[in-house]
Amino acid sequence: MTSPHPEPGPPAAPAAADSHGSSLLARIDDPCDVRSLAPEEVPRLCEEVRGFLLDTVQATGGHLGSNLGVVELTVALHRVFDFRRDRLVFDVSHQAYPHKVLTGRKDRFATLRRTDGLCGFTHPDESEYDLFHTGHAGTSVSLGLGLATALAREADAPHVVSVIGDASLGAGVAFEALNHAGATQARLLVVLNDNEWSISKSVGSLSRYLSRIRTSRLVQRAGQETRSLIEALPLIGRRASKAFDDLGEVMRHAFVPGHVFEELGVRYVGPVDGHDVALLEETLRRVRELEGVVLLHVLTEKGKGHPDGPSHPERVHAVKGGKSSALKIEKVPAKLEVPKPVVPKSSTLDRPSAESATSFTKVFADALIDLAERDVRVHAMTAAMPSGTGLDTFAERFPTRFHDTGICEQHAVAMAAGMAKAGLRPVAAIYSTFLQRGYDQVFQEVALQDLPVTFALDRAGPVGQDGPTHNGVFDIAYLRTLPNFVLAAPRDATDVRRLLDLAMRVDHPFALRFPRANVVQREVLPEGERRSLDVGTAEVLREGEAATIWAYGAMVGVALDAAQALAGRGIEVGVVDARFAKPLDEDLLARHLRSHRYVLTLEDHQRAGGFGSAVLEAASRVPELDTPLARIKVLGIPDRYLVHMTTREEQLVAAGIDGASVERVLTGLLRPVPR
């Protein structure tokens, strides 16, 4: 659209009504097109954006619920601010789809979260309107405060807006940011998008407090008069602030139903109906003029417009996709030549059929319930991920032994340490990527005290569509450096159960990592024939002459596939299930280093500091006797961030750690040397 670029200001003059009923959204290529709409056109644009999201995201899959809720808010933000100059930060950024739709990316929506397609979060490579590539919760206020502090030095400093959900506001880092911001002179607008839900129902006393604000009689009364109250917000800068302060106690109570934020030095405005786009726009125009840090409390409905939205917001938080869409799901034009994953025709380990597939998550959750039945010391902890970690079933079975801390990994880890100190056996189920938040507590409260806290690191390895913010590819490196830790990874369902059982008998911190994947259906050895699972013992699954693959966790399946494919070509290589990255089975490793030409290590983790690094370090301690030791080749994720792709398998291919790549590497190594 070639409209002039209106600056944000008073609403544009009403345009001639669109008598043809043609799509407004079709005319939106940039936020300036949103600003040029007449006020009476704006609700229709919102409906079109919502319809567009319902149609496309149910086809592509992705975070639907939160996005359906912030349509009006996003439209209003883009009408009031000019984010070519002002700055907008989304917390987590899973709710940035309407923003993407309005900032020139709607035509690529069919590629959402697919290989080479649009990212599911904000991403500076995609648009000048995306400042950060984030996916972890709670940081938007700090980012906003940093921007505001830096930009304040400019004459006519731009506005900075951080949009944060009610559950993310409960994250420690967001509290830290508010605590700091309220004591500064910064000009920052924090928009609290309160839909009462995290992925599950929001937990904690902050959430209770917000819900008291929603339901207080005073606010309900004020709500009926909100428009006139908002209109009472004066318009001009410092004078506005002064006048706001002078509104008097009655008005203050209308705007400040509780004083928690105000006591922190943050001016509270709201709550405002987040689906009344005209009211939102009006309110934003007025709070834009206020000095200092302002928190605008906006009430939205998660999943608005979806039939399941009102009754089951959790079901629509993220949807799988697959529904037919008016929008053609096109093949994504390849920027990079990414080879398709090669699935071996005959596999050593049967892959489960779709109907009978069981995830590692489910096996873990069932095993933990089983364990808790036998051991009253077992408690389960999650940081806002009861369904993602499978612990929702545990919570039903043992409500008093289940603890959801909200999005507070640091606190969850330290609390687990306290519980362990008092004699319990806490199992903290935290995604590999999110435990990064709790690293210092893992170090000081757990490892340094040598407390028996068990970490179940779900989503370890590449995760596919969520991409680099969510790939769990650093945990071996960040945990391996800590004395006292035992690091293990199960290759299949039987070893999930056995390792969890073992963790309860080991009086040290214990971490178990497993991927976002299904377990194999036919396991390589029946339980009775397995080597006993003592800490630091590996298991030989296949003997080979010249080379052996030491694989870790779920990558054992990939190694077995590669070995079988090579065997079909007359090349025998061995496979070891390392089972422990710490302590390593150094005796077996030393024997293999003496008896083979090559030892390959295989992991779905960064090469730097990972399992292969542990093997290299151990090898450096092995004394060389008469014959030279085997050469070690480390196969893992190279030193770069693995971008989002449609499937985890594609990411394994891109990183060169799928079965075909392993086979290729070994073929190259074992090729007879021409004389």
Ligand X SMILES: Cc1ncc(C[n+]2csc(CCOP(=O)(O)OP(=O)(O)O)c2C)c(N)n1
User: Which part of the chain contacts ligand X (CB under 6 A), choosing from 190-198, 237-245, 289-297, 374-382?
Assistant: 190-198
Judged by CB under 6 A, the chain residues 52 through 81 that form the site for ligand X are 66
- What residue number has its CB nearest to ligand X? 165
Minimum CB separation from ligand X for residue 198, in Å? 4
Identified binder of ligand X from the candidate list 50, 100, 302, 513, rule CB under 6 A = 302
Measured CA to CA in angstroms, residue 119 lies from 112, 355, 546, 670 at distances of 6, 29, 43, 40
User: Which part of the chain contacts ligand X (CB under 6 A), choosing from 71-79, 160-168, 416-424, 539-547?
Assistant: 160-168
Minimum CB separation from ligand X for residue 576, in Å? 34
Minimum CB separation from ligand X for residue 277, in Å? 18
User: Which part of the chain contacts ligand X (CB under 6 A), choosing from 142-150, 191-199, 486-494, 555-563?
Assistant: 191-199
198-201 long-range contacts, CB within 8 A, separation 24+ = 198/165, 198/166, 198/167, 198/384, 198/406, 198/407, 199/167, 199/314, 199/317, 199/318, 199/384, 199/385, 199/387, 199/388, 200/314, 200/384, 200/386, 200/387, 200/392, 200/404, 201/314
Q: Is 411 in the site for ligand X (CB under 6 A)?
A: no
Q: List strand residue ranges (DSSP E) for 230-318, in order.
A: 267-273, 293-299
The 560-599 contact track toward ligand X, x by CB under 6 A, reads: ----------------------------------------
Scan for tokens 């004699």, then name that residue: 423
Q: Is 382 in the site for ligand X (CB under 6 A)?
A: no
Minimum CB separation from ligand X for residue 513, in Å? 17
Q: Of the listed 35, 100, 114, 437, which one is catalytic?
A: 437
Q: Of the listed 409, 445, 539, 649, which one is catalytic?
A: 409
Q: Is 162 in the site for ligand X (CB under 6 A)?
A: no
Q: Distance between terminal CA atoms of the chain? A: 68
Q: List strand residue ranges (DSSP E) for 526-668, in order.
A: 539-542, 547-551, 573-577, 580-582, 598-606, 631-637
Please indicate whether residue 212 is annotated as part of the active site: no
Scan for tokens 């394994």, then name that residue: 652
Minimum CB separation from ligand X for residue 411, in Å? 12
Q: Which amino acid is at 491?
A: R
The helix/strand/coil state of 665 is: helix
Judged by CB under 6 A, the chain residues 314 through 353 that form the site for ligand X are none
User: Which part of the chain contacts ligand X (CB under 6 A), choosing from 140-148, 159-167, 334-342, 658-666?
Assistant: 159-167
- Cβ atoms of 251 and 226 within 8 Å: the answer is no
Identified binder of ligand X from the candidate list 49, 53, 92, 600, rule CB under 6 A = 92
Minimum CB separation from ligand X for residue 91, in Å? 6
Measured CA to CA in angstroms, residue 514 lies from 23, 260, 363, 493 at distances of 47, 41, 11, 10
Q: Of the listed 106, 114, 286, 302, which one is catalytic?
A: 302
User: Which part of the chain contacts ligand X (CB under 6 A), choosing from 132-140, 219-227, 624-632, 661-669?
Assistant: 132-140
- Cβ atoms of 375 and 588 within 8 Å: the answer is no
Nearer of residues 137 and 233 to ligand X, judged by Cβ = 137
Identified binder of ligand X from the candidate list 195, 325, 410, 651, rule CB under 6 A = 195
Q: Is 97 in the site for ligand X (CB under 6 A)?
A: no
Q: How far apart are CA 325 and CA 60, in angstroms?
A: 9
Cβ neighbours around 536 below 10 Å, total:
16
The helix/strand/coil state of 576 is: strand
Q: How far apart are CA 99 and CA 664, in angstroms?
A: 44
Count of alpha carbons within 13 Å of 264, Cβ hemisphere only? 19
Q: How far apart are CA 308 and CA 303, in angstroms?
A: 7
- Alpha helix stretches (DSSP H) within 524-647: 555-567, 586-595, 611-619
Judged by CB under 6 A, the chain residues 427 through 486 that form the site for ligand X are 434, 437
Count of residues that bind ligand X according to CB under 6 A: 23
Judged by CB under 6 A, the chain residues 198 through 217 that form the site for ligand X are 198-199
Please indicate whether residue 187 is annotated as part of the active site: no
Q: Is 143 in the site for ligand X (CB under 6 A)?
A: no
Identified binder of ligand X from the candidate list 53, 384, 559, 573, rule CB under 6 A = 384
Minimum CB separation from ligand X for residue 347, in Å? 33
Nearer of residues 88 and 137 to ligand X, judged by Cβ = 137
Q: Is 361 in the site for ligand X (CB under 6 A)?
A: no
Please indicate whether residue 262 is annotated as part of the active site: no
Q: Nearest CA to 480 among 580, 591, 564, 336?
A: 580
Q: Is 122 in the site for ligand X (CB under 6 A)?
A: no
Paired sense of beta strands 402-404 and 293-299, if any: unpaired
Q: Which residues does residue 454 pair with via DSSP β-bridges, in sequence order?
A: 427, 510
Minimum CB separation from ligand X for residue 442, in Å? 14
Minimum CB separation from ligand X for residue 516, in Å? 13
Q: How far apart are CA 58 and CA 641, in angstroms?
A: 28
Q: Is 309 in the site for ligand X (CB under 6 A)?
A: no
Nearer of residues 94 and 113 to ligand X, judged by Cβ = 94
Residues marked active site are found at 302, 409, 437
List interacting residues with ligand X (CB under 6 A): 66, 92, 94-95, 135-137, 165-168, 193, 195, 197-199, 302, 383-384, 407, 409, 434, 437
